[in-house]
């Protein structure tokens, strides 16, 4: 027999549940209704226009999955982040509405935010698995963290920036254990470098060296007659053919074809000075007053979901911060996810991306590059 005290407790709990549960159900119902509405309106808009990294396989797979899933056509502009950013800015200034969404690297889109061309993104996160910080390693991390605007979401985090490659027929890893080894006379005229005057992985390496080794080191490095190019494919080709022995700043997906073809291209081990943590091509935002606002919101929520992030990781070989997306397998491709290799505190100490570090390190390092590379 239930005691009066226990019966009273059960009755109280029942009352509380009767009061609280409808609120919980309503909240769940609210986001589901809104998600259904966004999908319906996006389907009416019929199109999403996005600037994405210059990775053809990513474009193909997005079209193969997103379009049939939601019944929305895709116009995907594959280009380097600065190119897409410049085009968005030019069109926006001219009053042309074309782009809805953009994805790229650190430092690429801050100028768009400063120019009032980007929507605040935090209020457009609809799916609980996207909106709730518990699903993300490190919680929510915003590219524009200095101003606190929350326009640009950073969804990739890697333990190292990568981008250090060598030709196995010309050089050996044992010869290149420190950045100081690049100053050896044998490498004069044999080092390629992705132009650090624009936001890219070349600038990430350059700014790290500026911060850790100083400007005198970079001046000595330039005396090695660097082969500097803004064309990653050109650098990759020079490396594969042995025209340069070492190349700094090239992305994996640029060199993947060379690697698959068994050409003598391999990533260098991390030098003793270390490398900065990176968010790769992992910054996303929505253009202000986008022509297809519901399709833009739908795409961003889907891309940041488990399904979208698994696709991005698979075809970009970059490390999602989502805790439910496996990134350990990327090690076989020389990519180390931050969440699998370091603490959140170590990540923030090591990074040279996000607005605060970009302002303190990468901007002055980039200006120095402009001065010495005229």
Question: Is 4 among the domain residues?
Answer: no
Q: pTM for this structure?
A: 0.83
Question: Is 18 among the domain residues?
Answer: no
Q: Do residues 58 and 52 make contact, with C-beta atoms less than 8 angstroms apart?
A: yes
- Do residue 84 and residue 230 come from a single domain? no
* Bigger pLDDT: 208 vs 2: 208
- Do residue 252 and residue 287 come from a single domain? no
pLDDT at 4 over 70: no
Q: Do residues 328 and 340 make contact, with C-beta atoms less than 8 angstroms apart?
A: yes
- Do residue 150 and residue 292 come from a single domain? yes
* CA distance linking residue 129 with residue 131, whole number of Å: 6
Per-residue CA distances from 43 to 48, 119, 270, 294, 299 (Å): 10, 21, 47, 9, 12
pLDDT (tens digit per residue) in 313-345: 999 999 999 999 999 999 888 789 999 999 999
pLDDT (tens digit per residue) in 152-205: 999 999 998 778 999 999 999 999 999 999 999 999 999 999 999 988 888 889
- Do residue 51 and residue 153 come from a single domain? yes
pLDDT at 22 over 80: no
Average pLDDT on 81-89 reads 93
* CA distance linking residue 326 with residue 323, whole number of Å: 8
pLDDT at 25 over 50: no
pLDDT (tens digit per residue) in 121-144: 999 999 999 999 999 999 999 999
pLDDT at 41: 98
Question: Is 253 among the domain residues?
Answer: yes
Question: Is 303 among the domain residues?
Answer: yes
Q: How many domains does the chain have?
A: 2
- Do residue 154 and residue 284 come from a single domain? yes
CATH number of the domain at 238, please. Answer: 3.40.190.10
pLDDT at 23: 41
The terminus-to-terminus CA distance of the chain in angstroms comes to 90
Per-residue confidence band for 82, with pLDDT thresholds at 50, 70 and 90: confident
Question: Is 349 among the domain residues?
Answer: no
- Do residue 131 and residue 177 come from a single domain? no
pLDDT at 161: 77
pLDDT at 291 over 90: yes
pLDDT at 214: 96
Q: Do residues 340 and 327 make contact, with C-beta atoms less than 8 angstroms apart?
A: yes
pLDDT at 80: 84
pLDDT at 5: 56
Task: Show contacts of 225-232: CB within 8 Å, 24+ apart.
Answer: 225/188, 225/189, 226/191, 226/192, 226/193, 227/189, 227/191, 227/192, 227/193, 228/192, 228/193, 228/194, 228/195, 228/373, 229/192, 229/193, 229/194, 229/195, 230/194, 230/195, 230/198, 232/194
For helices 293-303 and 306-316, what crossing angle results, to 10°? Answer: 70
- Do residue 31 and residue 153 come from a single domain? yes
**Averaged pLDDT of the chain:** 90
- Do residue 116 and residue 66 come from a single domain? yes
- Do residue 145 and residue 177 come from a single domain? no
- Do residue 191 and residue 119 come from a single domain? no
Question: Is 13 among the domain residues?
Answer: no
Cα torsion angle, 257, 242, 280, 296, sign = negative
Range of the domain at 78: 26-158+279-342
pLDDT at 20: 45
pLDDT at 8: 54
pLDDT at 135: 98
pLDDT at 12 over 80: no
Question: Is 354 among the domain residues?
Answer: no
**Strand runs (DSSP E) across the chain, as ranges?**
47-52, 73-78, 101-104, 153-154, 164-167, 191-194, 227-229, 246-248, 265-267, 283-286
pLDDT at 254: 82
Question: Is 21 among the domain residues?
Answer: no
pLDDT (tens digit per residue) in 261-272: 999 999 898 899
pLDDT at 302 over 50: yes
* CA distance linking residue 346 with residue 263, whole number of Å: 35
- Do residue 240 and residue 263 come from a single domain? yes
* Bigger pLDDT: 47 vs 14: 47
pLDDT at 3: 53
pLDDT at 2: 46
- Do residue 215 and residue 305 come from a single domain? no
pLDDT at 277 over 80: yes
Average pLDDT on 8-29 reads 47
């Amino acid at each position: 027999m239930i005691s009066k005290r226990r019966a009273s407790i059960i009755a109280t709990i029942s009352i509380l549940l009767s009061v609280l549960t409808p609120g919980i159900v309503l909240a769940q119902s609210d986001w589901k209704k809104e998600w259904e509405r966004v999908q319906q309106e996006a389907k009416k808009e019929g199109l999403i226009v996005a600037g994405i990294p210059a990775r053809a396989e990513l474009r193909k797979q997005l079209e193969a999955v997103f379009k049939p899933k939601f019944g929305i056509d895709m116009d995907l502009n594959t280009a380097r982040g600065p190119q897409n950013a410049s085009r968005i800015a030019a069109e926006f200034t001219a009053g042309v509405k074309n782009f809805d969404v953009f994805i790229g690297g650190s430092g690429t889109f801050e100028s768009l935010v400063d120019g009032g061309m980007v929507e605040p993104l935090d209020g457009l996160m609809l799916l609980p698995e996207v909106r709730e910080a518990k699903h993300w390693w490190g919680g929510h991390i915003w590219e524009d963290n200095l101003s606190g605007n929350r326009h640009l979401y950073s969804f990739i985090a890697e333990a190292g920036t990568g981008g250090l490659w060598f030709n196995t027929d010309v050089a050996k890893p044992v010869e290149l254990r420190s950045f100081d080894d690049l100053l050896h006379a044998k490498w004069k005229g044999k080092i390629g470098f992705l132009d650090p005057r624009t936001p890219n992985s070349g600038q990430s390496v350059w700014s790290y060296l500026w911060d850790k080794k100083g400007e005198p080191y970079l001046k000595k490095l330039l005396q090695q007659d660097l082969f500097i190019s803004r064309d990653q494919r050109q650098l990759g080709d020079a490396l594969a053919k042995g025209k340069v022995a070492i190349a700094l700043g090239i992305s994996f997906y640029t060199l993947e074809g060379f690697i698959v073809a068994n050409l003598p291209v391999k990533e260098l081990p991390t030098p003793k000075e270390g490398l900065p943590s990176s968010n790769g091509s992992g910054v996303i935002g929505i253009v202000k007053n986008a022509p297809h606002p519901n399709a833009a919101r739908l795409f961003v929520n889907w891309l940041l979901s488990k399904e979208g992030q698994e696709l991005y990781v698979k075809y970009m070989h970059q490390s999602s911060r989502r805790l439910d997306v496996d990134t350990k397998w990327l090690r076989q491709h020389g990519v180390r996810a931050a969440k699998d290799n370091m603490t959140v505190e170590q990540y923030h100490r090591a990074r040279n991306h996000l607005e605060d570090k970009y302002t303190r390190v990468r901007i002055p390092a980039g200006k120095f590059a402009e001065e010495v590379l005229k």
